[in-house]
Structure 1
Amino acid sequence: MLNEQENISRVEACINEILAQSDKSIFLIIDGDRTLISTDSTKYFFKHLELEFIEIKSIFQKYDYTFEAFYHVALFYSRIDEKRYKEACIASAKAVNIYSDFLKFIKAVKDKTELILITSGIAQSWQNVIDNHSLDFMHLIGGNYFPKEKFVVDKNAKGIIANKLKLAGKKVFAFGDTLIDFDMLQNAHHSYLIVNEKMNKDIIPHSHEIAHLKQISFSSDSHQNLPLTDLIKVTSLIHKYYENSTNKNS
């Protein structure tokens, strides 16, 4: 049985491996559902398998956003036959498209940054999304299907990853949309809340606790009292950091 401390150790091992393979000074951590895409891809997974979402909802109602919640959700997924699971992951990935502005942004900064797609959702589905959009240069951190995947990504894990990158001397940019992303957004140097279809109702009451948080909207919706920016400005900021870093090392 996986416990929280072992889960943290496995998450840290994963990020250590990425750090060991990279000499880049700028890291981007980007959430998947309702951040890179407009909706939650999980609903297409459940639709394909003709499953009800109520069991997942009941787990989060019981455990909130704790490790126990994500662990029990992973146990739920792990009971699904592997062939059916893979088929549902393929189907759900085909049903979604990454925001076009995000795709342009990713391609504009990929040579200057290390890109990490982090998901608390269905990791195999997101690997298919990466493949479908020719983003094989992105790292994927996620897990919810045992024993193939070794850990889960809960709220705490996201925060640990951002903090570990920062402690390694990396400039960290984080993008998220819900309370699950709070620790990650809080620990990054530059943090961006993507306005989602639910108007970020779970994290907005806590957004004042992240002084450097800015919002990005791909629609006409936005939040009052939260600075608004866009991916073009973020791209310019990344280029500035990259040039400064290059000049220091030359």
Structure 2
Amino acid sequence: MLAAERHDLLLSRLAHDGKLVAKEIAAELGLSGDSIRRDLRELAAAGLCQRVYGGALPVSPAIADYAARSSVQPESKDRVARCAARLIDPGSTVILDGGTTTLAVVRALAPSLDCTIITHSPTIAAGLVSHAGIDVFLLGGRMFKHSAVTCGAAAVEAAQRISADLFLLGVTGVHSSEGLTTGDVDEAAMKRALASRAAETYVLASAEKVGVSSRYRVLPLNQIAGIITDCPANHQILSQLRRDGTSIIDANA
């Protein structure tokens, strides 16, 4: 079998099964593990899969740049956003992560809401200008243009001076074995810093983020209050997460 044929087979199997186990594929094709691992490295380098220990998972479409992500599953993000907005109580202090789903949360907020919102996203802060009853605190630092958020040492230091009731966390991947992931190491560190300053953290997981993985882990699943998603309740990954004790909030309800 030619390398191109193997690649097509691996991608087809990944799309069907939602994962690849290198030793199983190698045994099935009568190839060495090294050959399959080399194939997976090449596919990962082309952005077609996310390598993990022992194999590969589907790559998250949410690692595209900010402008491109705006057109990915907008209806799904709106459903998740409307559900998440209902978690924000009047008078509370809330941290909003950056990203297109949290921007949808801003659009879903009641115009009469009175609360305090802290964010490291200039886009989120600008979206709140018209909300007269919301006090906005923007955390400074180096702006990561790929996601339009501030990251790095200065932003993390600023985060250490705040506290909040709720953090609405955006990630690019949610998986039962790989946990919560994102595509940049500095963003992952900033998300952890923000989560450490909130009493509760809820993950915003529109449908395209469930069952996929990115390179950098954000938080262990046991450190979040729950995942808000519009994926079908019987989704294999969600079923496993429930069995492992993770709370799932159905945004379709």
Say yes or no: TM over 0.5. Answer: no
Work out which structure has the larger RCO, using CA pairs closer than 8 Å and 6 or more positions apart in sequence.
Answer: 1
Question: Which structure is higher in helix share?
Answer: 1
TM tier, shorter chain?
0.3 to 0.5
Query: TM-score if structure 1 supplies the norm length?
Result: 0.38
